[in-house]
Amino acid sequence: MDNPLRSEAAMFRLVVLVGLAAVPVVALGLLAGATWALVAIVLELAAAVFLVRRGRGRAQPPPPTCSSR
């Protein structure tokens, strides 16, 4: 994952991501109460951790291969 602080464009993507993540939390908080908003935050954090871990797994360099030479 890119360091979002390294460029404005990456930081802007973070703003959009955090903003989109906040929409269901705010909606649930206003409509159903703070407890449901908290549940939404926990679910979103769990999804974020899962996606980051899966992304890291894919970004692993291929294992070194033995060359005949």
24 forms part of the interface with another protein (CB under 8 A): no
CA atoms of 3 and 19, how far apart (whole Å)? 18
Report long-range pairs for 15-22 (Cβ below 8 Å, ≥24 apart). 21/48
Shortest reach from residue 7's CB to another protein, in Å: 7
Shortest reach from residue 69's CB to another protein, in Å: 27
Shortest reach from residue 49's CB to another protein, in Å: 18
User: Under a CB-based contact definition with an 8 Å cutoff, are residues 40 and 28 in contact?
Assistant: yes
Residues within the interface to another protein (CB under 8 A): 3, 5-9, 11-12, 14-15, 18-19, 22, 25-26, 29-30, 34, 37-38, 41
